[in-house]
Amino acid sequence: MKIELLYFKGCPNISLARKSLNEAFAKADIPAQWDEVDLNEPNTPKELKGYGSPTILVDGKDVTGIAPSGESLSCRTYYNAKGEITGAPNIEIIVKAILESVKKGQKAQKGKVILSIIIALFLVFSVHSIPFAAIFYPAPSFDLKEAVENGENISLDKILKDKDTRGV
């Protein structure tokens, strides 16, 4: 999860935006951590310069869903839950964006774990010369107990050769 607070020096609403971020992280029960990007800096990516100040991005997207417009610096205002104009996004909107990012990250992590398990199984079976198809096919049936009770001195290889191995 990447959180960015875009601003320019002298923005009258930057302290309110920082306060809103801190409160949103507290409501989401996540330690507060974000990067601050000064829109006046020459090394600021061009795609960020179209946002007003302050803007909060979660994973590169404005929490309010607004796209950048132009490249001029401007102050930005928002509407709070009561419909009043304010200088920072509604805390609930920030919380929602943060939690969606966390959920998205968990899904991605789960997919990585499943892929890791599949790769590990493949490596284990290939290293130990166990046919990978053995995962999907049941072992051949034979009566080892009967062979032992009859006093037969027979190897497992012979038993397997004599039985249907179903392509394994």
Using one digit for the tens of pLDDT, what is the confidence trace for 53-86?
A: 999 999 999 999 988 877 777 889 998 888 999 9
> Residue 15 pLDDT > 60, yes or no?
yes
Sign of CA dihedral 92, 93, 94, 99: positive
Structure-token pair, residue 93: 């909107």
Across the chain, mean pLDDT equals: 79
Smallest CA-to-CA distance from 17 within 55, 73, 63, 71 is with 55
Mind listing the pLDDT tens digit for each residue in 83-113?
Answer: 999 999 999 999 999 999 988 876 656 666 6
pLDDT band at 19 (very low <50, low <70, confident <90, very high): very high
pTM over 0.75: no
What distance in Å separates the CA atoms of residue 58 and residue 131, rounded to the nearest whole number? 46
Smallest CA-to-CA distance from 144 within 129, 134, 159, 165 is with 159
Report the 10 Å Cβ neighbour count for 67: 8
Q: What percent of the chain has pLDDT over 90?
A: 44
What distance in Å separates the CA atoms of residue 60 and residue 68, rounded to the nearest whole number? 11
pLDDT band at 131 (very low <50, low <70, confident <90, very high): low
